Amino acid sequence: MSNPRSNGGASKQSKAFSSLQKEIEQQKHKVNDVHQKNNETAMFLSKLKDSLKTVMEMANKEDTQREECDKELRHMKFLISKMSHDMECVKKEHEQITKELEESKSLNELQLKKFTEETRKNLKQISSLKMAVQKQTGHTNVSTFSEDLKGQTDQLNAKIVELEKQLESKQEMELENQQLQEKLDVMEHMEGEFLKMVADLHINVAEKERALQALEEYSQALTVKERESNDELQKTRKRMIEGIAGRPSRGANIVVKRMGQVDSRPFYKALYAKRKYSKEEVAERAAEMCSVWENNLKDPHWYPFKIITFRNGPKEIINEEDAKLKRLKMEMGVGPFKAVVTALTEMNEYNPSGRYVVSELWNRSEERRATLEEGVELLFEHWKVKKQKIHQTGTADGENADNDNEVSPAHDDNAASPFVGKGV
């Protein structure tokens, strides 16, 4: 005959086993969901990195093209300015040559008219002399006539020499006029070529300006895209910080750190070293002092900084001669002083205008801001450990044990640590 108690125990075990199986299936689904989300996050980050890399390459290329375009535009504008100056010089020379040519033509016409008149006058004189010779043929005083004739002949010869010189001068001026006309023709041709070249340069400059405008519009589009990518990265980083902040972080290298929060541990150690208070009083007084200093940090009227000018420009640093900081160092020692200075530096870097604490993904070992890739790797490690525990135990005991470890209280000396997470 079967034992009812035994049957009841077997039924309870069967129900418990069935319940555990359902719990395991639920945990497996959760693990798969986490795995899928991690894969999606990793793919999203990879795409964002590729997109940012492309944006940076295109931005660098666009900057290079813009510099080359600006350089070419400056060179073209210089050429246009120089050619405009040369054109003004050519125009002035053209006007001067035209003026000289007109004056030369007027002078030639005047000299030609004068030469014609002199020639006519000389011809009349020669005709008069011939008539006089004919009349004087029977004259008795031959010697007097000869002398008169000789004088008139000398005058005519002088006139002829003068007319020959004028004729040579006229020919020279005509040759000079011809040379000036040829030079004027060449300059007019050069002026036409120059105007064509200037017109081509203006067209080229207009094309370059249009290309530069297109590059500027493209640069603005790239800037918008880069801003959108950065916004997506910031949102992803914020979600990752929120996710990591609620996970166990004891011994973890990648943690969430509250930038600008005063670390109470140096205050605890400094007060404990004085041996004036019990542990409970030390923890209480350390918390009070941290609260006071956090209020000081939030005070916009307290400005414990000074500006130092370096080669790369001015930089804001902590003024260690500040009265409050000096008094803190004197009364509490170097540890609390460094804790406040660190919080001040972090707050000034991450939120100088608002002066409130900001959560940040942090790399403990290298004392720097952690990358998104490091945060993804941490989440993936958490997922692998969780999956391994479920597969090894086959029960929910491992998960419960893990939860027990996650909620274990921290020691008093790190209760106000700037690092966020369970078990920090």
Across the range 200-219, mean pLDDT stands at 83
Residue 148 pLDDT: 67
Are 410 and 41 in contact, with CB atoms under 8 Å apart? no
Distance CA(318)–CA(330), nearest Å, equals 17
In the numeric block, the tokens 């395991």 are attached to 24
pLDDT at 198 over 70: yes
CA angle 45, 235, 246 (to 5 degrees): 95
Nearest Cα neighbor of 378 from 219, 248, 200 is: 248
In the numeric block, the tokens 């307290």 are attached to 302
Q: Is the dihedral of CA 231, 237, 239, 245 positive or negative?
A: negative
What region, left, alpha or beta, does residue 397 occupy, with left being phi > 0 and alpha being psi -120 to 50 degrees?
A: alpha
State the amino acid at position 340 in one-letter form.
V
pLDDT at 309 over 90: no
Across the range 328-339, mean pLDDT stands at 92
Name the band, by pLDDT with cuts 50, 70 and 90, for residue 397.
very low
pLDDT at 163 over 50: yes
Q: Give the highest mean pLDDT range of 75-79, 241-245, 328-332.
A: 328-332
Distance CA(167)–CA(94), nearest Å, equals 28
Nearest Cα neighbor of 413 from 286, 328, 290 is: 286
Least confident of 16-30, 350-364, 404-418: 404-418
Residue 402 pLDDT: 46
Residue 266 pLDDT: 93
pTM: 0.46
Which of these CATH numbers, 2.60.120, 2.40.50, 1.10.287, 3.30.1460, describes 73-230?
A: 1.10.287
Comparison of pLDDT for 141 and 229, the residue scoring more: 229
CA angle 369, 255, 402 (to 5 degrees): 165
Spatial neighbors of 394 by CB under 8 A, at least 6 apart, are 24
And the tokens for 396? Answer: 């929910």
Residue 382 pLDDT: 79
Percent of the chain clearing pLDDT 90 (strictly above): 7
Q: Residues, the chain, total? A: 424
Distance CA(188)–CA(273), nearest Å, equals 100
Name the band, by pLDDT with cuts 50, 70 and 90, for residue 339.
very high
And the tokens for 179? Answer: 């040379």
And the tokens for 357? Answer: 């604490």
Nearest Cα neighbor of 272 from 418, 413, 416, 415 is: 413
Distance CA(328)–CA(325), nearest Å, equals 5
Across the range 24-53, mean pLDDT stands at 71
Name the band, by pLDDT with cuts 50, 70 and 90, for residue 327.
very high
Distance CA(198)–CA(83), nearest Å, equals 8
Q: Would you kindly state where each structural domain of the chain is located, as residue ranges?
A: 73-230
Comparison of pLDDT for 127 and 313, the residue scoring more: 313
Main-chain dihedrals φ then ψ at residue 225, nearest 5 degrees: -65, -40
Distance CA(190)–CA(76), nearest Å, equals 20
pLDDT at 244 over 90: no
Distance CA(73)–CA(75), nearest Å, equals 5
Least confident of 267-281, 387-401, 409-423: 409-423
Give, rounded to a whole angstrom, the gap between the first and last alpha carbons of the chain.
58
Residue 412 pLDDT: 43
Residue 144 pLDDT: 64
pLDDT at 395 over 70: no
Residue 212: CB atoms within 10 A of its CB come to: 16
And the tokens for 180? Answer: 């000036």
Q: Give the highest mean pLDDT range of 8-22, 291-305, 395-409.
A: 291-305
Q: Give the highest mean pLDDT range of 21-30, 120-129, 262-271, 405-414.
A: 262-271
359-386 pLDDT per residue, tens: 888 888 888 888 888 888 888 887 888 8
Name the band, by pLDDT with cuts 50, 70 and 90, for residue 396.
very low
Comparison of pLDDT for 9 and 37, the residue scoring more: 37
Comparison of pLDDT for 380 and 3, the residue scoring more: 380
